[in-house]
């Protein structure tokens, strides 16, 4: 292994241990299970991650589990970001949701082929975890800065014009429907 990969693995291990020592819903639950079974929280967490990984590879409904992982944690932290006074966390989660949306749109058209790819949901889940990872070079930051932002900046004026034209036509259509509705009631 290269030193960079070793550093990443060490960082993941350190973050996992730090998380397991924090007080939150997950560690409270693991603590109760540890008390009843005598199995350490670290082993329980590793087992849960392993079972989840195996389920994503072999389990029925892996798509639902993968989508829940890609949605629930980010949604929770997005709400916390909205409620916090800091704008930095808002930008982080908005970036995640933009990348998630682009990925979901692309997946809609390719899912019929990707579904048959072995380990697809395991890789998709790893991708989504990378996109939401609490580090500065997570997937959503990298993909946004390298792909989404350049495409957006290149086509921003065209899209703005289309949106403006469509909203004008929608307002005109709504006014016509309202006028016709009030004329018929009279």
Burial class (CB in 10 A: 0-12, 13-18, 19+), 101: exposed
Distances (CA, A) of 5 to 10, 142, 145: 9, 18, 23
pLDDT in tens, 6-26: 776 777 777 777 767 777 667
Report the distance separating Cα 119 and Cα 101, nearest Å.
22
Which range, 19-28, 49-58, 135-144, 171-180, is most confident? 135-144
pLDDT in tens, 71-99: 988 999 899 999 999 888 899 999 999 99
Distances (CA, A) of 126 to 40, 129, 139: 25, 5, 10
- Work out the mean pLDDT of the chain and round it to a whole number: 82
Q: What is the pLDDT of residue 44?
A: 80
With a CB cutoff of 8 Å and minimum separation 6, the contacts of 42 are 17, 20
Q: What is the pLDDT of residue 1?
A: 45
Give 39 or 27, the one with higher predicted confidence: 39
């Amino acid at each position: 292994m290269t030193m960079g990969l070793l550093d990443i693995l060490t960082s993941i291990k350190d973050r996992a241990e730090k998380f397991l020592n924090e007080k939150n819903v997950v560690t409270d639950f693991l603590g109760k299970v540890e008390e009843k079974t005598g199995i350490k929280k670290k082993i329980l967490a590793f087992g849960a991650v392993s079972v989840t990984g195996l389920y994503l590879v072999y389990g029925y409904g892996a798509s639902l589990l993968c989508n829940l992982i890609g949605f629930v944690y980010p949604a929770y932290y997005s709400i916390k970001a909205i409620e916090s006074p800091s704008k930095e966390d808002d930008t982080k989660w908005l970036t995640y949701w933009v990348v998630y949306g682009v990925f979901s749109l692309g997946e809609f058209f390719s899912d019929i082929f990707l579904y048959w790819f072995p380990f697809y949901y395991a890789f998709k889940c790893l991708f989504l975890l990378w996109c939401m990872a609490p580090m500065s070079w997570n997937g959503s930051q990298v993909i946004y800065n390298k792909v989404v932002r350049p495409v957006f900046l290149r086509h921003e004026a065209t899209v703005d014009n289309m949106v403006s034209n469509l909203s004008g036509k929608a307002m005109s259509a709504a006014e016509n429907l309202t006028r016709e509705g009030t004329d018929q009631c009279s």
